[in-house]
Chain A
Amino acid sequence: MGKFLRQSSVLFIVLVLAVPVLAGYRDIASNAIVNQAVVESEIENLCLTCHESAMMDEKRRKIPGEWRASWHFQNDVSCHNCHGGDPQDAALAMSPERGFVGVPKYQRVPAFCGTCHIGILKNYLASGHGRALMENGSGPNCVTCHGAHNIQKATIDIINENRCSQCHSYDRAKEMKHALSRTEQKIEDIEASITRLKAARVFTEEEDKEVFRTLAEFRTLFHVVDVSLVKDKTDDYLKRLGVIDKKLQGIFSELDSRRNFSVFLLLIFVGMAITGYLLSKTYS
C-alpha cells in the first residue's frame, strides 16, 4: 500500500509537471494576471502626452508638472475638467465639439473657474474685486491670488501685504485676515484631528463632508470681501465647527477607552500565561 501511495504521488507530480509542456506557450511574457486590473483602469491623457513632448515651448511644458503638484491633481481634477476637450481622442482633443475652451481671456477667468466654484463666483462678482473686473477689466481675477495650474489648497496666507498692496493699501485686507483667522485655525485643527482619526482607521466620511460644507461656505463668504459680514458670521461658523470638534473628541476618547480596555485584557492574559507557566514548571 505504502509503495502504491509513493508511486501514485510521483505519478501525480509528473502529471502536474507535464501540464506546462502540454499547454505550450500560453501567456509567456504577459503581465495579464497581476496588473490587468490596474492597466484597464488607467486612462490615457493626451493633454499630458503633448504638453510633455518636445513640440511644446518651455512654458507650456511646465504645465503638467505644475498641475501634478496642485490641489486639483490631489482631488482628481484633470485638464479637461477645466479646459474641456477629449483627452482620449487625438483628433478631437482640442475640438470645440467636445467642449474645448482652451485658455480663457482675463475677464472670463471667474466664469471659467466658477463652473465648479459656483458659490464663490457669485460672491466674488458681488465684491469690489469682481465689480472692478467686470466694469473696467482692471480688478483681480481668480488667478491673481490662486495661480493658474499650481493651485494649492487655499489658506488665509493668500491674503498678504505683498499681494494686496499691488493694487490698494493692506489695511482693510489685514483686518479681514484677522477676522478670518479664528475660523481658519479651528478648521485646521479639525482637519488635523480627522487626519489622525483616519490614521487610526476610523471612517470619517460624515465628518469630512460636514467640514467640507462648512469650509466651502466660509470660503464663499469671504470672497465678498466684506469685513463686517465676516465678523458677524464668525461666531456661527465657530459654533458649527465646535459641534464637529466635539464629535471628533468623543471618538478620540472612545479610542482611548478601547486601548485601555485592551490593555486590561492583555494584563489578564499575561497573568494567566505566567500562572500557566509556573503551574507547568511545578508539575514537571
Chain B
Amino acid sequence: MLKAIKNWIEVRIGLDELVRDQLTEYRIPRNINLFYSLGTVAIAAFSIQVLTGIVLLVYYVPHPDHAFKSVQGIMMDVPYGWLFRQVHAVGSNLLVIVVALHMLSVFFMKSYAKPREMTWLVGFAMLLLTLTFCLSGYLLPWSQLSYWATTIVTNMPTAFPYIGDYLTEFQRGSSQVSGATLGRFFALHVMLLPALLVMLLGIHLFLIRRIGISRPPFGPGGQERVEWTQFHHESYPDGMPFYPHYIAKEVFMIMVYLSAMFFIIAFLPTLFSPADANIPADPFKTPAHIKPEWYFLAPYQMLRVIPSKFLGITLQMIAITVLFFWPFLDRKEERNILKRPVLLGGFIGALLVWIGLTIWGNF
C-alpha cells in the first residue's frame, strides 16, 4: 500500500530524484562548522513561534479591556495554555539570540562576500523583521510592562525632524499608546509580519540553494579562492553529504535550542517576565523603572547617554545602514577575519560596546 502511494507520487513529481538532489547527493563543504546550522535553528524556532502563536490566537482577545484577562485565562484556565504561552514568550527571546548569532557568524566568516550580497541583505531585513515581531508582540499582553515599554520605543521617532511626530502617531494610531495601537500591532504581528517573513525566508533559501552554500574560511580548503566572473552554482563534489551527516548536526542543534528553552521554562520561568508584566496596563500610572526589552536596551541606553536624542537616533540609523550595506563596503579579498586585525578589533569592540550598553541600560 505504502509502496503504491510512493509510486503514485514518484510518477508525478519525481520524488527519488528530489531526495537524491536535495538530500543524499547534496554535498556541503567538509570544513563546515556548527555555526552554519544556526539558520536551520532559526527556521525551527520561527516555526515553533508560528504554531504556538496560532494556539494563542484562538484564546487571545486584542482589546484593551480584555487583552490582559485573556492572557491570564490562557495561563490559568486553558488546558496547557501556560505551555504554549511560555514556549511563545521564551521562544521569542531565544529567537532573537539565534538570529543575532547567525548574523554574527555570517559576518565573522565573511559569508556575505561576493556572490552572496543579496543573501546578506535579505537576511539582515529578516533580523529587522524579527525585532519588529518582538516589538509588536510585546504590547499584546497589555500589561504595565508592555504598555510602557511600547510607549518608550514608539516615542523614539519623535527625534526625527519634521516627520517625527507624524511617525510616532502613525505607529500608535493616536497620540498615546491606546486601543488603536493594540489593533495595529496585533494586525502587524499576526498577519503582515508573518507574510513578509515567509516571503523573505523563501528568497533567502532560494539564494542559498541557487548560489550554493559558502565555504567557511577556516580549516582545510578554507583559503581556496573562486574567481566569480559569471554565475555558476558553487558545489562541493567531494564534500560531506547533507543527509544524513549534516542533518544529524542540525537536529543536535535544534534539540540544544529546545533544551535551553525548557530549561528556562522549568527553572527560570520568570526570566523574561518582570513583575510589571503581571500588572494590567494603566495609562495613568507610570511604573518607577520602565525600560524596553533586553534586545532594545543598548539603543535605549545610547539615547540616554547622548544628550541630543536626534543625534543618537541618527547614529543608530547610520550603524544599521552601514551594516546593511556592509558586503558592498568591505572590499578586501581576505575572508579570514583572524588575518584582518582592524576588522576583528572593530567587530569585538562593537560587540563589547553593545553588551556594555545592554548591561548599563538595566540600571
Contacts and interface: CB of A to CB of B under 8 A. Distances in A.
Interface of A: 2, 5-6, 8-10, 12-13, 16-17, 19-20, 22-24, 26-34, 36-38, 41-42, 198-203, 251, 258-259, 261-263, 265-266, 269-270, 272-273, 276-277, 279-280, 283-284
B259 A266 contact: yes
A33 B156 contact: yes
Given A201-B270, A203-B278, A265-B262, A29 B318 contact: no
Contact of B278 (A26, A33, A198, A265): A198
Given A13-B325, A29-B308, A33-B156, A269 B259 contact: yes
A273 B260 CA distance: 11
Interface residues of B, number: 62
A265 B331 CA distance: 48
B248 A280 contact: yes
B328 A273 contact: no
Point out which of A9, A201, A280 has the most chain B C-beta atoms below 10 A from its C-beta.
Answer: A280
A5 B117 contact: yes
Nearest to B30: A284
Interface of B: 72, 75-76, 82-83, 86, 114, 117, 148, 151-152, 155-156, 158-162, 240, 244-245, 248-249, 251-253, 255-256, 258-259, 262-263, 265-267, 269-270, 273, 275, 277-278, 284-286, 290, 300, 303-304, 307-311, 314, 317-318, 321-322, 325, 328-329, 331
Contacts of B152: 33-34, 37
> By DSSP majority rule, is chain B's interface helix, strand, loop, or mixed?
helix
Nearest to B250: A276
B306 to A, nearest CB: 10
B322 A23 contact: no
A27 B310 contact: yes
Residue from the set B117, B160, B255, B265 with the largest chain A CB neighbour count within 10 Å? B255
B26 to A, nearest CB: 14
Contact of B72 (A22, A23, A203): A203
B363 to A, nearest CB: 14
B159 A27 contact: yes
Shortest Cβ-Cβ A-B pairs, 4 listed: A276-B252, A273-B255, A262-B266, A9-B325
A36 B331 contact: no
Contacts of B311: 20, 28
A177 B284 CA distance: 41
A201 B278 contact: yes
Contacts of A19: 161, 314
A276 B304 contact: no
B61 to A, nearest CB: 16
Contacts of A265: 262
Contact of B308 (A5, A12, A27, A259): A27
B266 A279 contact: no
